[in-house]
A = this chain, B = another copy of it.
C-alpha cells in the first residue's frame, strides 16, 4: 500500500505536515455502537502535548481534535472516523534556514533525495507532530480494548544511563503520571529530571527507553507466519520517530541465556512460571502479559552549531536553535501505548475470523 496507512481491519490513515493547515487522519474499522468519550481522547492527547511540564518543549500547541464523521449521538456507527487538529503555532520564518540546509540526523536530506521536493518547515511530513493522529486512533482503540479487559501501560524505564529496574505493578501507573518523566518511581524520577535539565542546559539532548506491559490479553491474538504479534508490534514501534530498537520479553538478554534457563515452564492452567517470551509464543499471545521495550535515540535538534551540507551538497554550518525536547521519552509514553492499542485491536478483530 501507500505508506500512510496502518492496520488491516482496524486501520489508521494519516495526513499532515507540521506547518501545513492541519494534521489528521481517518480511522476505519471502529466497532459500531461504542460510546466514545471525547474527554478520554483529549486526555491522551494532553499526555503527548508540548508545554505540559518544565522538562518538555515549550512550544504552544493546543492540539484540540475535531471529529468530522463516524460518530452519531455520541456513539460510533461503524463508519470511518475522520478527524483533524489545526496547526496553530506556525512561525514559518523560524525555518527559513532549513530551506537550503539539511539538518544532521533529520529526514531533510532523505525526503529531498526521494521526492526532489520537500516542505522544509519544521520537518514537514517527517515531524513527530504526525503522531498526534496515532494518539487519537490509539485512544479510540483503547476504549474498545478497555471493554475487553485489556489494559495497556507504558512507562519510561531509562533516560541516558539511568535505568529503573523495579518490578512493574498496575498501581504504579499513578506514580508514573505524577512525575514529568513518567517513570514509575518517585526517586528515580528526580534523578532523571535532574539529568534532563542538565542536558538541556548544555544545549544538548539525550536518549531513553520505554517499556510497555499489557495485561488481560487473551491467548490467540497474532497471525502466523509473517504477521506475528510481536513482529507487528515491532513494526508499529519502529515506525515512531526516533526509535532505534525493539525487544520483546527477554530481548537481547536472551542471547546470553541457555534454553534450560530461558524456557517458560507451564503451570497447571496454562500460565507460565517465567515470562521470557513476553506473552507471545510462535507469534501468538499466550495469555501472559505482553512485555516489550523500545529504544529512543537522543533528539537530533540541538542548541549547538553543527557541520552539515546545503542543497548543493556543499559544506555549511547549522546554528543551534529551536524549542525542542531535551529528551523525547516522557511525551512518547502515550505514543507507545497508542500504537500498541492500534495493533491489538486490529489483531482482536482479525482473530474473530479464525473459528468457523
Contacts and interface: CB of A to CB of B under 8 A. Distances in A.
A77 B286 contact: no
A230 B277 CA distance: 23
A317 to B, nearest CB: 10
Interface string A259-277: 1111111111110100011
Contact of A28 (B5, B69, B77): B5
A122 interface: no
A68 B21 CA distance: 5
Interface in A108-124: 109-111, 113-119, 124
A185 to B, nearest CB: 17
Interface string A61-72: 000001111101
Interface string A342-355: 00000001111111
A31 B219 contact: no
Contact of A225 (B14, B204, B220, B301): B14
A69 B244 contact: no
Given A2-B10, A117-B72, A301 B26 contact: no
A230 B224 contact: no
B4 A80 contact: yes
Give the number of times this chain occurs in the complex, counting copies. 4
A215 interface: no
A5 B297 CA distance: 32
Interface in A216-230: 219-220, 222-228, 230
A16 interface: yes
Contacts of A186: none
Interface string A116-150: 11110000111000100000000000001001000
A5 B8 CA distance: 11
A15 B45 CA distance: 22
A209 interface: yes
Given A23-B69, A231-B235, 9 more contacts: A5-B5, A22-B69, A107-B224, A115-B354, A231-B239, A254-B297, A259-B299, A267-B309, A349-B353
